[in-house]
Chains A and B, each alone.
Chain A
Amino acid sequence: MSKAQPDLQIAIEVRGLTREYTSRSFFGTVSKVTKALDGIDFSVKKGELFGLIGPNGAGKTTTVKILTTLLTQTSGEAYILGLDVRKDLYEIRRRIGIVFGGERGLYNRVSALDNLRYFSDLYGVEPAVARKRISQLLEAVGLAERADEKVEKYSRGMKQRLHIAKALVHDPELLVLDEPTIGLDPGGARDIRNMIREMQKQGKTILLTTHYMFEAEELCQRVAVISKGKIVALDTPSELKRLVRDISVIELRTYGVTTEYVEVLKQLPNVVRVVAELDSEVQTIRIQSPLGADLLPQVTSALPSDAKIIDRTIKEPTLEDAYLRLVEE
Chain B
Amino acid sequence: MGVLDGLTPGKRVDGYLSRRGQVLRACIVLTAKLFFADPQWIIPNIIAPFIFTLVAFFLFGGQASTGSFLLYLVLGSGLMGMWGTTIYGSSNSIGFDRWNGTMESTLAAPIPLSWIALGRVLFNTFEGVINALFILVIGLAWFKVGFGFVNPGLFFLASVSTFLSLSAFGLMMCTVILLSRKGGFITNSMEIPVYIATGTMFPVSILPVVALPFAFLLAPTWGIEAIRLSALPGYAGLGTTYWTDLAILAVETAAYLSLAFVLFKRVEAYAKRNGTLEEY
The residue that A171 contacts in the complex, of B6, B7, B101, with Cβ under 8 A, is B7
**Most A-side CB within 10 Å, residue of B7, B29, B108, B111:** B108
Shortest distance from the beta carbon of B109 to any chain A beta carbon, whole Å = 4
Contact among B12, B116, B274, B277 with A125 in the assembled complex (CB-CB below 8 Å): B12
Q: Is the CB of B8 within 8 A of A90?
A: no
Stretch at the interface among B32-40, B73-81, B245-253: B32-40
Interface positions, chain A 78-125, Cβ under 8 Å from B, are 89-91, 93-94, 98, 100, 102-110, 114, 117-119, 121-125
Query: What are the interface flags for A13-25 relative to B under an 8 Å C-beta threshold, 1 for contact and 0 otherwise?
Result: 0000000011000
Query: Does A133 make an interface contact (CB < 8 A)?
Result: yes
Q: A98-B105, A100-B105 are in contact. Are A109 and B4 (CB under 8 A)?
A: no
Decide if A121 touches B25 in the complex (CB within 8 Å).
yes
Once the chains are docked, how many angstroms separate the CA of A94 from the CA of B109?
Answer: 7
Interface residues in B63-117 by Cβ distance below 8 A to A read 100-102, 104-112, 116
B208 interface residue per 8 A CB criterion: no
Contact (A107, B34) CB under 8 Å given A98-B104, A126-B13, A133-B10: yes
Q: Is B62 an interface residue (CB 8 A)?
A: no
- Evaluate contact between A72 and B108: CB separation under 8 angstroms: no
Residue of B nearest to A109 (CB): B37
CB pair A70–B104 under 8 Å, yes or no, is yes
A302 interfacial by beta-carbon distance below 8 Å: no
Residue of A nearest to B4 (CB): A198
Tell me, yes or no, whether B160 is within 8 Å of chain A by CB. Answer: no
Count chain A CB atoms within 10 A of each CB in B25, B34, B275 and give the residue with the most: B275
Q: Among residues 1 to 59 in chain B, which have CB atoms less than 8 Å away from a CB atom of chain A?
A: 2-13, 19, 22-23, 25-27, 29-30, 33-34, 37-38
- Residues 117-163 of A at the B interface (beta carbon under 8 Å): 117-119, 121-127, 129, 132-133, 136-137, 139-141, 150
**CA of A287 to CA of B174, assembled, Å:** 55
Q: How far is the CB of A127 from chain B (nearest CB, A)?
A: 8
CA distance A133 to B5 in the complex (A): 12
Q: Which of A71, A125, A140 contacts B3 (CB 8 A)?
A: A140
Q: Establish whether residues A105 and B101, one from each chain, have CB atoms under 8 Å apart when the complex forms.
A: yes
The 8 A CB mask of A168-199 against B (1 = contact, 0 = none) is 11110000000000000000000000010011
- A70 x B272 contact (CB < 8 A): yes
Q: Do residues B7 and A98 form an inter-chain contact, with CB atoms below 8 A?
A: no
B275, A21: Cβ atoms closer than 8 Å: yes
> In the complex, what residues of A have CB within 8 A of residue B22's CB?
121, 124, 127
Nearest Cβ on chain A to B103's Cβ, whole angstroms: 8
B102 touches A171 (CB 8 A): no
Contact (A70, B4) CB under 8 Å given A110-B37, A121-B25: no
Instruction: Please give, as numbers and ranges, the residues of chain A lying within 8 Å of B269 by CB-CB distance.
Output: 72
Chain B residues whose C-beta falls within 8 Å of the C-beta of A119 in the assembled complex: 105, 109
CB-based nearest A residue for B21: A121
Check A259 for interface membership: any CB of B closer than 8 A.
no
Smallest CB-CB separation from B115: which chain A residue? A122
Q: Do A136 and B102 contact each other (CB < 8 Å), given the known contacts A70-B272, A107-B34?
A: no
A63 interface hit (Cβ, 8 Å): no
A106 nearest CB neighbor, chain B only: B102
The closest CB in chain A to the CB of B111 belongs to A122
A201, CB-defined interface residue at 8 Å: yes
Contact of A90 among B5, B33, B104, B110 (CB under 8 A): B110
Other-chain contact of A110, B8, B34, B112, B275 (Cβ < 8 Å): B34
Ranked 7 nearest A-B pairs via Cβ: A171-B10, A104-B101, A121-B26, A93-B110, A122-B109, A109-B37, A94-B110
- Sample (18) of A-B pairs whose CB atoms are under 8 Å apart: A21-B275, A70-B277, A90-B112, A93-B108, A102-B101, A104-B104, A105-B101, A106-B101, A107-B34, A108-B100, A109-B34, A114-B30, A129-B11, A132-B8, A133-B7, A136-B6, A166-B105, A201-B2
- Residues on B lying within 8 angstroms of A by beta carbon are 2-13, 19, 22-23, 25-27, 29-30, 33-34, 37-38, 100-102, 104-112, 116, 269, 272-275, 277-278
**Chain A residues close to B by CB (< 8 Å):** 21-22, 65, 68-72, 89-91, 93-94, 98, 100, 102-110, 114, 117-119, 121-127, 129, 132-133, 136-137, 139-141, 150, 166, 168-171, 195, 198-199, 201-202
